[in-house]
Amino acid sequence: MIERDFFTVYGAPPETVVRAPGRVNLIGEHTDYNDGFVLPAAIDRSIDFAGRKRADRLVRVHSLDFDAAVEFSLDDIQKDSNNRWGNYIRGVSKYLEEDGHRLSGADLIFGGNVPREAGLSSSAAVEVGTAVFWRNLLRLELDPVYLVKLARKAENQFVGVPCGIMDQFISALGRQDHALFLDCRNLSYRHVPLRDDVKVVVCNSGVKRALAQSEYEVRLNQCRQAVAQIASTVRPVKSLRDVTPADLEAARPALSEVLFRRARHVVTENQRVLEAVRVLESGDVERFGELMDASHESLRDDYQVSSKELDVLVELAWKQPGVLGARMTGAGFGGCTVNLVRQEAAEAFAEAVRRGYQDALGLKAEIYICEASEGALGA
């Protein structure tokens, strides 16, 4: 328990406790930074925070997972290249202060069970958890979407990772037993109930996302180039969100094969998300599963962000009884797959995939049968 850990480290009880979940994206991959649609859910694995105010401007941070501590002054928040885990907290604190929210010093601890570098957004959970921690501790009036944007800014500008807005959004605003349908252009959203007779099963390939950051930036730039070329040859689109399949065909002669495929993934993925939301709302989980499968193929063949391990996990999943759909999830190049499985088949599914992965590649997959959970602002 985080309260007890706080007491052990600081010898006093905490004033505030926060729970910020990781996430799994059901469908809508590499669409958020193209102004598109996503459908993630917060999972029942979280990064927890506990803390109390200090009378000065010092922030002392203890990481349970790294078993290490750092401290910084709110008057001079710099990046720390030795303890990079602390930078998410520093970044969020810095931008809150810059926006005129006067913070006080604090003693805090954090830690949890979202695996790191597994594509389940442990870093977004730390950012969102930090922002909600300050909000609760100091009773700051922070609009939820402002808080999400600030958490993302810490990742983009302070930590220096060019992610979209999906991960921070869902960690803050997820809802128990629901997925969240988000329009990443205008940030309007609604929660979509998940049926309780199907389970979201996450298979962690155990392979760290080695290429993830560099290839992510390559994809981001390819999307921008595709937009520029479509805009100059077909019609004035602002992002791939605006591109229809007909536009894409019209632009095909002007685009290189690679740019065409990248754009085709995003255009078709946005369509899949819209249909996925419709069929989920009407209870058609079979069709939802087919859309997940198609998403995987598109990410593998057109966007080219899958990996051998992820493909093995997905192909194993497709063979199991009770599976409705399976795909890689998150940025790719390692990390996890997400599977929709009939409830009664979920345990056997987990066992069969674990065994099959070990037999095929000699690797251990960790498998989590997830519950969609409340975001940090709701808990």
Rule CB under 6 A: which residues touch ligand GLA? 25, 29-30, 32-33, 163-164, 166-167, 330-331
Separation of alpha carbons 258 and 283, rounded Å: 36
Q: Considering just the CA atoms, what is the radius of gyration of the chain in Å?
A: 21
Distance of closest approach, residue 123 Cβ to ligand GLA, in angstroms? 8
User: 291 near 42, Cβ under 8 Å?
Assistant: no
Distance of closest approach, residue 34 Cβ to ligand GLA, in angstroms? 9
Catalytic: which of 32, 48, 167, 293? 167
Give whichever of 33 and 349 is closer to ligand GLA, judged by the CB atom: 33
How far lies 128's CA from each of 39, 71, 93, 161, in Å?
18, 19, 11, 15
Distance of closest approach, residue 25 Cβ to ligand GLA, in angstroms? 6
DSSP state of 329: E
Let me know if 97 is exposed, middle or buried by CB neighbors in 10 A (0-12, 13-18, 19+).
Answer: middle
Distance of closest approach, residue 29 Cβ to ligand GLA, in angstroms? 4
Give whichever of 164 and 375 is closer to ligand GLA, judged by the CB atom: 164
Give whichever of 234 and 277 is closer to ligand GLA, judged by the CB atom: 277
Helices 87-98, 122-138: inter-axial angle, 10-degree rounding: 50
Separation of alpha carbons 82 and 102, rounded Å: 27
Give whichever of 70 and 147 is closer to ligand GLA, judged by the CB atom: 147
Element (H, E) at 43: strand 37-53
The amino acid at residue 373 is: S
Q: Note if 80 is an active site residue.
A: no
- What positions carry a catalytic annotation? 167
